[in-house]
């Protein structure tokens, strides 16, 4: 009997030694890190099927108590049983996972078919099915499910069956039409010129992009992976109007470094819609819309009349709309107050040595009636000559430009407004 017991014990030891380690092996002392909150289950079978979820473990460090069929039992106390989890719920790359209402990215279905459910869990009802290759925009949730819109309603799919599709960067070869759908006979919604940088997803023979906030398409073969390498060549251009020089090639968020007058020669490099050139010892950018390659012919005879000077003052005033209001300032690089704007326009456009204050400017030039006002005339506001407090420039068509307030800056307003009619004192031609 003793021999039989020894044989039985020996056979049991051999059986245990031969058993796969992933099935029953205790693993005390081994740690496990949860990168995010996961569902917990009472047994390994439920964890594998993700059914009968009982609770949630939060992100943190745990001890492994047992492993079975790739499922893991973890606990906060070493050597003590805890709850079962499915390791697929533990996101391994948390550095690129973004949660929030603006975190939509494009996903592609990897599996043959995947159920979409009414909630983020297998216990919710099925509201649709996604097939292999289906692409959609979704928002990754902290529990590993992806929130999306399916047939006009909110749905959820489990993230393991999908891969995130990264944006592809492409550059337009020599001009390409932008279409509303991935067909050559769909409506045109825009056009991109050579070198335009695009980001999108390849869909068949098309590149799906975001164009002015909407989904659009360009023909893929008309784009390339890298921008065309060109040697920058300096060009010579001449200004056709008073031209602002900015610190970056954009009208949005840029700072005006200064202004160059009409017929000024500029040497620089064309970069898209801008010319990059040197201005007062620093790099500046000016719009090519106000440049020409033809050198202007300067007439020796004086041909400009008072009327044309006024038109030039009015034209320059309209160019300054959008500039900042700065008290006691009279420069595009800093800003303007009301009299500073009028002072700047007359001194730079009309070569008139104008005074700086509203009340003294009223004493310059000569007065014109309301009905006789022409573009370039100064319009004054107040209740008397000594009580004048504001001034602007009439630019024609019932409009005037003035440095209004710090909140509004330099703006263009109507002379027919109630404020203008109630505050208008008179107009003068100061050039």
Take residue 218 and report the two structure tokens written for it: 């360009």
Q: What is d(CA 126, CA 362) in angstroms, rounded to the nearest whole number?
A: 79
346 is an active site residue: no
Catalytic residue of the set 211, 277, 346, 402: 402
Torsion sign, CA atoms 338, 343, 345, 346 = positive
Catalytic residue of the set 211, 277, 346, 390: 390
Torsion sign, CA atoms 122, 124, 130, 133 = negative
Q: Give the residues across from 206 on adjacent strands.
A: 203, 219
Contact 421, 343 (CB under 8 A): no
Torsion sign, CA atoms 84, 85, 87, 91 = negative
Q: Among candidates 193, 190, 192, 135, which has minimal Cα distance to 164?
A: 135
Catalytic residue of the set 211, 277, 338, 346: 338
User: Phi, psi at residue 187, to the nearest 5°?
Assistant: -70, 145
DSSP E strand boundaries for 6-134: 31-34, 38-40, 55-57, 60-68, 71-75, 83-85, 105-109, 113-117, 126-131
Q: Within 13 Å of residue 316, how many CA atoms lie on the same side as its CB?
A: 28
Three-class DSSP category at 141: coil
Count the neighbouring beta carbons within 10 Å of the beta carbon of residue 66: 19
Q: What is d(CA 143, CA 139) in angstroms, rounded to the nearest whole number?
A: 12
338 is an active site residue: yes
Any idea what DSSP says for residue 415?
T
Q: At what angle do helices 338-348 and 306-319 cross, to 10 degrees?
A: 130
Catalytic residues: 338, 390, 402
């Amino acid at each position: 009997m003793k021999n039989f017991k020894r044989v039985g014990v020996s056979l049991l030891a051999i059986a245990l030694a031969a058993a796969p380690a992933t099935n029953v092996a205790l693993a005390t002392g081994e740690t496990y890190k949860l990168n995010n909150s996961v569902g917990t289950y009472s047994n390994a079978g439920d964890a594998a099927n993700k059914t009968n979820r009982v609770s949630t473990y939060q992100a943190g460090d745990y001890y492994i108590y047992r492993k079975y069929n790739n499922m893991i039992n973890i606990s906060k106390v070493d050597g003590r049983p805890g709850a079962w989890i499915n390791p697929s719920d533990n996101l391994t790359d948390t550095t690129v996972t973004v949660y929030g209402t603006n975190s939509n990215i494009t996903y592609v279905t990897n599996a043959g078919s995947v159920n979409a459910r009414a909630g983020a869990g297998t216990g919710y009802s099925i509201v649709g099915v996604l097939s292999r290759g289906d692409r959609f925009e979704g928002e990754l949730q902290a529990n590993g499910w992806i929130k999306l819109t399916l047939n006009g309603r909110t749905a959820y799919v489990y993230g393991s069956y999908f891969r995130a599709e990264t944006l592809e960067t492409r550059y337009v070869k020599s001009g390409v039409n932008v279409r509303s759908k991935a067909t050559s006979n769909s409506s045109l919604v825009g056009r991109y010129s050579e070198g335009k940088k695009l980001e999108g997803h390849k869909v068949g023979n098309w590149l799906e992009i975001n164009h002015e906030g909407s989904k659009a398409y360009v023909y893929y073969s008309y784009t390339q992976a890298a921008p065309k390498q060109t040697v920058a060549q300096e060009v010579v251009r001449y200004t056709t109007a008073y031209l602002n020089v900015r610190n970056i090639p954009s009208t949005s968020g840029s700072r005006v470094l200064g202004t160059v007058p009409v017929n000024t020669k500029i040497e620089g490099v064309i970069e898209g819609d801008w010319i990059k050139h040197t201005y007062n010892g620093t790099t500046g950018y000016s719009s090519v819309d106000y440049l020409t390659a033809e050198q202007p012919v300067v007439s020796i005879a004086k041909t400009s009349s008072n009327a044309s000077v006024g038109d030039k003052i009015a034209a320059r005033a309209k160019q300054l709309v959008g500039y900042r209001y700065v008290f006691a300032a009279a420069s595009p690089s800093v800003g303007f107050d009301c009299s500073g704007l009028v002072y700047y326009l007359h001194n730079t456009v009309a070569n008139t040595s104008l005074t700086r204050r509203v009340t003294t400017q009223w004493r310059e030039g000569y007065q014109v009636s309301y009905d006789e006002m022409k573009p370039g005339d100064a319009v004054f506001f107040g209740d008397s000559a000594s009580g004048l407090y504001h001034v602007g420039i009439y630019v024609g068509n019932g409009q005037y430009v003035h440095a209004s307030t710090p909140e509004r800056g330099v703006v263009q307003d109507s002379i027919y407004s109630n404020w203008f009619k109630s505050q208008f004192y008179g107009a003068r031609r100061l050039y």
